[in-house]
Amino acid sequence: MATIGAVATILIEAAGHVNKLVARFFPNLDLPRTDDQGNAYLHVLHQYRQCLINKEFRPKESLTRRTPTIVSLDVPSATELHKVGIGFTVSKTTSIMDISFEHETLSLPEMYLDDSTKSRFLNIIAFEQVHEDATHDFMSYIFFMFRLIQGPNDVSLLQLHGIIDTSLDRDEVARLFNFLIRRYHTTWLSPEHHVVGCKVRSRYKKMSNEWRQDLFQKYLRSPWAVISVVAAILLFILTTIQTVFTVLSFFYRN
């Protein structure tokens, strides 16, 4: 019968093999060799997920299992944020926790998506759900991105700013995040992501009001400006009606 010491030795050796295997298949990733407690990884997903999170961007209280914030985060899509003047930039690292909002600019980590992304993401989410000590940081990141990516135009905007790099179609990217959220029916957010989301939402509302006020000041301040706008709308409606009747009369004559 194997002693406890022998079993421990076998586990340590196995962990070392896992680390080497992951490093071989992901040569471009800065893979951590040990977890937050200094132990070697016993599972490929554990090490790969930790690489995406990067423990340097997690506060000390995050090293133990946390209860995620369950919310309905009403953050507008990327295009809606862009319309009111909120900008986007790439974070300094690729950590999914390296998300911040300062000076009306939302910083997001660069993300590469390809044909294997869906299966990888599903495996990482499953790992978070079954692992006793895992936090829900990755699922939180997926939900945050889901709020930003509501359609192909949002994908294009994030591509333009270097946040998304993908070989997939824009529609495929949008469907991917929609699928992940619908599959797990989750609105989990880590405390870190929730704070950023609240800042973005608050600033968006304020800038939206400022945009409306600016529009009113420029175009609807005087009675003559209001009359001009109303007249232009009526003229457009009448022109449209006239065009429709012209087309219909042409078909009826023939």
199 in any annotated domain: yes
On average, the pLDDT of the chain sits at 78
Q: Same domain, yes or no, for 85 and 199?
A: yes
- Is 234 a domain residue? no
Mean pLDDT of 202-221: 70
Question: What is the pLDDT at residue 10?
Answer: 43
pLDDT, position 56: 60
Q: What is the domain extent for residue 28?
A: 1-42
pLDDT over 90 for what percent of the chain? 40
- How many whole angstroms separate alpha carbon 57 and alpha carbon 65? 16
Residue 108 placed within a domain: yes
Q: Residue 238: what are its φ and ψ, rounded to 5°?
A: -65, -40
Helix (H, G, I), strand (E, B) or coil at 98: coil
More confident residue, 45 or 173: 173
Q: Please indicate, yes or no, if residue 29 is contained in any of the structural domains.
A: yes
Total domains in the chain come to 2
Model confidence at 75: pLDDT above 80:
yes
Please check whether residues 177 and 87 belong to one and the same domain.
yes
CA 192-164-150 angle, 5° bins = 75
CA distances from 126 to 54, 70, 88, 120 (A): 19, 18, 30, 10
- The reply to whether 191 falls in a domain is yes
Which of 40-54, 145-159, 199-213 ranks highest by mean pLDDT?
Answer: 145-159
pTM: 0.70
pLDDT at 63 over 50: no
